[in-house]
Amino acid sequence: MNLCSPVHPISETILFLARSLDRGGAERQLVVLAKGLAHRGHGVAVAVFLGGGVYETELAEAGVRVINLVKQGRWDILPFLNRLLRLLRKERPAVMHSYLGVPNILATALKPLLPGTRIIWGLRASNVDLSRYDWLSRLAYALERRLARFADLIIANSHAGKRHAVANGFPENKIVVIPNGVDTEYFRFDPEGRRQVRSAWGLGEDEILVGLVARLDPMKDHPTFLEAASLIAREHHDVRFVCVGDGPVAYAEALKQQAAALGLTKQLIWAGARDNMPAVYSALDLSSSSSSFGEGFSNTIAEAMACGVLCVVTDVGDAKKIVGETGFVIEPGNPAALASAWQMALETGGAEKASRSQRARERVIEHFSLERLIEETARVLETAVKTGAQWMI
């Protein structure tokens, strides 16, 4: 793809379709992409099933319309579809860019009624263990597999995601990989933020903090993180651990019970969801990902790297491609291996740690910048509008 050739703004609307704008990696990428495309002169709007998400104000301040389809629960089907169809007939978007399973399905189901609209899917995960989720999630993925060939184009945010999709019957010639982008002016080391966050969490200057920034979800494999933490905690009383993120109450309670059974009560912080993430990353001495399946492109790995934080990650999704030689990569689902990698990372000397920190930030700037995400996406969408994405075939 030639990044030097000009991109001509699409005059008709690019309509993003998503479930909500609550906290989440996919939602965050949608927001920064919509803002970036609007800033470059594209007509952009975002339609959501459920209004009131935390990112709506940010989009509104950037001049991006947010349209609430007011879905009233799981079984609000026909009235909801009628509202969506009326919106699409009114907007007549040049592109409908859907994010994740159900929006992808709906966008394709409505395609016959929108002959002038290019349907672009967004794939954000890889190798999801559907046995960990409810029947509706399994049904949605089965429908995605059958409908994928009708999408005009599919944008995956990871090479692992593309491989998994192709292995499950998605058309390879319609899938293009565009990695997520990180705003490296926003995500950078914040010394004052570090001081404030560590103080709020009751951390001493000499205490070492290992963090897992992830929603409470089976794919993030908090149990492995907690077991690894218990191995380190037995020998190193100056090491503390923090889990940043929230999730279902029952699952959160089960994790807290596991932590208590492992004797981590005094050394573990449950921080919940946070807004000032550069300060949170800056408070860490080591950022860890313990995911065992499902990841495509992990935003939290790249964001931590942009803040100059050393990362220890499991080899899931594109994690290995993200960290390169700047961090430590181990097999998933192995608490002993994770604890050993933490130990190795924490023993990294000052000069070597500073070098890795600098190289981590430089790697994100070079390969995973926000500008690259926006420019590549704009080019792909423009080409899809002009050619119907036949350039991919």
Sign of CA dihedral 165, 171, 177, 180: negative
Do 331 and 319 sit in the same domain of this protein? Answer: yes
In this prediction, residues 296-325 reach a mean pLDDT of 96
The total number of structural domains in the chain stands at 2
Per the domain annotation, does 5 fall within a domain? no
Residue 59 domain-assigned (yes or no): yes
7 belongs to a structural domain = no
pLDDT, average across residues 90-99? 93
One domain for residues 293 and 347: yes
Q: What is the bridge-based pairing of β-strands 125-126 and 294-295?
A: antiparallel
Which residues are registered as beta bridge partners of 75?
Answer: none
Q: Confidence class of residue 389 from pLDDT cuts 50, 70 and 90?
A: low
Query: Is residue 239 domain-resident?
Result: yes
**Cα–Cα distance, 193 to 321 (Å, whole number):** 29
Three-state DSSP at 231 gives helix
- Is 1 part of a structural domain of the chain? no
Q: For residue 21, tell me if it sits in a domain.
A: yes
Q: Does 143 reside within a domain?
A: yes
Q: What is the DSSP string of 318-368?
A: THHHHHTTSSEEE-TT-HHHHHHHHHHHHT--HHHHHHHHHHHHHHHHHHS
Same domain, yes or no, for 311 and 278?
A: yes
Residue 2 predicted with pLDDT over 60 = no
Which neighbouring-strand residues pair with 56? none
- 82 and 156 share a domain? yes
Residues 166 and 299 in one domain: no
Angle between helices 25-39 and 299-306 (to 10 degrees): 70
Q: pLDDT tens digits, residue range 352-379? A: 999 999 999 999 999 999 999 999 999 9
**pLDDT 10s digits, 4-44:** 444 555 556 899 999 999 888 889 999 999 999 999 889 99
What is the structure's pLDDT at 138?
A: 84
The tally of CA atoms less than 13 A away on the side-chain side of residue 297 is: 28
- Per-residue pLDDT tens for 140-175? 888 999 999 999 999 999 999 999 999 999 999 999
Burial of 279 (0-12, 13-18, 19+ CB in 10 A): buried
Question: 40-67: per-residue pLDDT in tens?
Answer: 889 999 999 999 999 999 999 999 999 9
Task: State whether 216 and 124 are in the same domain.
Answer: no
pTM over 0.85? The answer is: yes
Q: What is the CATH number of the domain that holds 76?
A: 3.40.50.2000
Q: Are residues 231 and 341 in the same domain?
A: yes
For 285, the domain range is 191-367
Both 241 and 267 in one domain: the answer is yes
Mind listing the pLDDT tens digit for each residue in 253-305? 999 999 999 999 899 999 999 989 999 999 999 999 999 988 899 999 999 99
Whether 245 contacts 273, CB under 8 Å: yes
